Amino acid sequence: MDIFTGIILGILQGLTEFLPISSSGHLVMAENILGVKASSSLIFEVLVHFATMLSVLIYFREKIWKMIISLIPPYTPEKLPALKLIGIIVVSTIPAAAIGLAFEDFVESAFSSVRIVSIMLLITGMILLSTKLIKFGGNKPGYKTGFLIGMAQAAALMPGISRSGTTMAAGMHLKLAPAEAAEFSFLLSLPAVFGAGVLKSFDLAASPIADGAIGPFIAGAIAAFIIGYLSIAWLMRIIKQGKFFFFGIYCLIIGFLGLVIL
């Protein structure tokens, strides 16, 4: 992998990790087109995932700081909403963690099939388009809604099913305001991305760095962080403008092209 390829893959990761168009699906297709197996480099994969996680931490730094402070005694009434949100995120993370561990080999095998990815992108497209039919509410995330959104996140373990897209759409169907559903989806991504990164990190010792790979890896991580941050800001504006469903049209087009061309 050269620096140019590292940057391209980093941009792709940062752009698709949070936009509801499936980062895993796009990376599988990009690897097929570029003839580069980025996912075979465990170090690169871990770096770009932690880079995009950092973009969430910085964008939502005020909310996350309140959550951190709420864990420190004394537990005053002002801290209760942030404490409750932490509990909801923990509950929401359980389905993906359980299903991911139980079906790890099956999910991994799906990454080798562009056809499966294309079909999953078509499904993502229909999920996103369904939000056009919703009458949005003003609910806040609760334990029940959080668990159901967590189930949607578990379904997104399949490459081509967008994690952000399915969790945001699930939140909207559960009568969360679009911006509220988006913010909860981003916060929910933190334990998912961190957990996956930690698990993969255990195997880093057996993943040697090829000569000249450090430069492309760092360039890719920086690109993923910058583009990830900009993607979050852009998506929050798109959602507030009521244009979220447009991403569904994009996923249908890419899924169809993947079936026909790749």
Q: pLDDT for 203-245, tens place per residue?
A: 655 555 555 568 888 999 999 999 999 999 999 999 988 899 9
* pLDDT for the residue numbered 36: 63
Check pLDDT > 60 for residue 38: no
Contact of 161 with 65, CB cutoff 8 Å: no
74-130: per-residue pLDDT in tens? 989 999 999 999 999 999 999 988 988 888 777 777 777 888 889 999 999 999 999
Backbone angles phi, psi at 175, to 5 degrees: 70, 25
List the beta strands (DSSP E) in the chain: none
Query: For the chain, how are helix, strand and coil distributed in percent, rounded to 5?
Result: 80, 0, 20
Contact of 164 with 56, CB cutoff 8 Å: no
52-56, 103-107, 129-133: which range is least confident on average? 103-107
Check pLDDT > 90 for residue 261: no
* pLDDT for the residue numbered 194: 81
DSSP 139: B
Contact of 69 with 123, CB cutoff 8 Å: no
Tokens of 253: 């087009």
Tokens of 37: 């197996």
**Domain region containing 199:** 3-261
Per the model's pLDDT, the better-predicted residue between 250 and 193 turns out to be: 250
151-208: per-residue pLDDT in tens? 999 988 888 899 999 999 999 999 999 999 999 999 999 988 887 777 666 665 555 5
CA dist list (Å): 117 to 77, 120, 121, 177: 47, 5, 6, 30
Q: What's the structural domain count of the chain?
A: 1
138-166: per-residue pLDDT in tens? 888 999 999 999 999 998 888 889 999 99
* pLDDT for the residue numbered 100: 81
